[in-house]
Amino acid sequence: MRTILFTGKGGVGKTTISAATGILASQFGHRTMIISADAAHSLSDAFEVELSDTPRKIAENLYAQEIDAQKEIERNWGIIQDYLTKFFNSQGIDNIEADEMSVFPGLEELFSLMQIRKYHDSGEFDLIIVDCAPTGDTLRLLSAPEITNWYLKHIFPIQRTAAKAIRPVANRVLPFPFPSDDVFESIKKITTQIQGLSDILRDSGNSTIRLILNPEKMVIKESQRAFTYFNLFNYSVDLIIVNKKIPDKVKDPFFREWKTIQTEHRKTIFERFHPIPIREIDLFDKEITGIKKLERIGRIIYGEEDPADIFYSEKPFKIEKNGTDYIFSMNLPFLKKEEIELYQKGEELIIKAGKYKRNILLPRILMNLNIKEAKFKNHILSILFTKGGE
Ligand SMILES: Nc1ncnc2c1ncn2[C@@H]1O[C@H](COP(=O)(O)OP(=O)(O)OP(=O)(O)O)[C@@H](O)[C@H]1O
Ligand SMILES: [Mg+2]
């Protein structure tokens, strides 16, 4: 099963483009499900039909669903949540706060994404399209499997079998209720599901992320940050979509300055995301809702191509740990060693060679380290980042 996640800053066009992609994919004969994992659903507005957490058929081969995160939490986390509430109560924390504390950050997103796993297992669909929450939340969501696993391991470090043996004593001597068998059973189930989801999303032969931007400064910056972390967490980005470009045909002097600014930003987008393929969509003269207009958007992005194709499958760069050092490496097939110039400016790494310029936003782990050496061999640039001095 193919999975495509659409993400980008708020309002850039995620829902519109997810819906447009779904329509086109269904016309290619892919049994397609679009799910909205953003708590503020607007997929129904895009399609102009009512949607709920029960899948609804929109067209031949096309289904859509808006996930009820609260329901998913109750279903998956209910038993653990009850236990944690009791635990917090026993520590003198009152009911409302205890309820809040028993749901960790990222859980809503995580359980929304669990739907992907469900469909993966059921085999009902060839393609799942996920209209994600804005980038910041998506990043949190994609690291949610690790974070949740961490919580579970640290909060419930005891194995279930050991728990059986110590429970009778524990309940008498401990100043808090000891988890029941059900709680351990639930944790085991969730841990397995999380692993399953993580494996699906990191399978670059089937799952990819498409990043949507507008040619605006703030949007580019946020997307670049997300791009760096997707790469770091081993998720594949196969397409960049630049939406809402002012059309060339617009000659109104009011937009002249805007067009110059956008041209500059489009160049920046190329420098920051190349070699990931970039597609552009003009700003329409009205909102885009309903199947017909969405289909038009789909054609602008994909032309005659199948939207379920994988448009790019290599990792733009790699970061590996070597003791306390890190090695950043990247393939630069067309450059000559003597042309390459490297600069580090705060969180940015700039690679220049003649007219070629790449700008990479370094992840936090590298920012406070120093570049010890840089090598260029077999067209691979590798940079050694170390702690401390030279
Ligand atoms: N190319 C375009 N031309 C004109 N309007 C557009 C274009 N793309 C999207 N829109 C409109 O912009 C608005 C925001 O788009 P959309 O809801 O798809 O963004 P989003 O990224 O999902 O937003 P949110 O972050 O709020 O979920 C919608 O009204 C949509 O119809
Ligand atoms: Mg949206």
The span from the CA of 129 to the CA of 227, in Å, is 19
Residue-level pLDDT at 165: 65
Distance CA 12, CA 24 (A): 20
State the Cα–Cα distance between residues 108 and 214, nearest whole angstrom: 27
247 prior amide bond cis, ω within 30 = no
Centroid of ligand 1 to alpha carbon of 288 (angstroms):
7
Task: Kindly give the number of the ligand 1 atom that is closest to the alpha carbon of 287.
Answer: 31
Nearest Cα residue to atom 18 of ligand 1? 13
The distance between the two most distant Cα atoms of the chain, rounded to a whole number of Å, is 80
> Hey, what domains does the chain have and what are their CATH numbers?
1-314 (3.40.50.300), 318-386 (2.60.40.790)
pTM of the model: 0.85
Atom of ligand 1 nearest to the CA of 17: 18
Q: Which ligand is nearest to the CA of 287?
A: 1
Ligand 1 geometric centre to CA of 351 (Å):
34
- At residue 281, the pLDDT reads 98
* Residue showing tokens 């790469």: 231
How far apart are the CA of 184 and the centre of ligand 2, in A? Answer: 36
Q: Give the residue, 334 or 380, on which the prediction is more confident.
A: 380
CB atoms near residue 196 (< 10 Å) = 16
Q: Which ligand is nearest to the CA of 138?
A: 1
Residue 244 Cα to ligand 1 midpoint, Å, equals: 9
Name the percent of the chain lying above pLDDT 70.
Answer: 88
10 CA to centre of ligand 1 in angstroms? 9
Could you give the percent of the chain with pLDDT greater than 90?
A: 44
Are 371 and 383 within 8 A, CB to CB? yes
Q: Which of 108-112, 152-156, 300-304, 316-320 bottoms out in mean pLDDT, i.e. has the lowest?
A: 152-156
Indicate if the pLDDT at residue 148 is higher than 90: no
Atom of ligand 1 nearest to the CA of 243: 1
**Residues with Cβ within 6 A of ligand 1?**
8, 10-16, 38, 42, 134, 243-244, 281, 283-284, 287-288
Beta pairing class for 348-353 and 356-361: antiparallel
Res 114 pLDDT > 70:
yes
Minimum-distance ligand 1 atom for the alpha carbon of 38: 27
Mutation test of ligand 1: which of 241, 243, 287 has the most ligand atoms closer than 8 Å to its C-beta?
287
Residue 26: closest CA among 50, 6, 2, 5 = 2
Each residue's pLDDT tens digit, 320-371 = 998 889 999 988 877 788 888 998 887 888 888 877 788 888 888 888 888 8
Strand 237-245 with 207-213, pairing:
parallel
Distance 287 CA to ligand 1 centre (A): 7
Predicted confidence (pLDDT) per residue in 291-320, tens digit: 999 999 999 999 999 999 999 998 878 889
Q: How many A from CA of 209 to the centre of ligand 2?
A: 15
Tell which atom from ligand 1 comes closest to the C-alpha of 285.
Answer: 4
pLDDT of 146 = 67
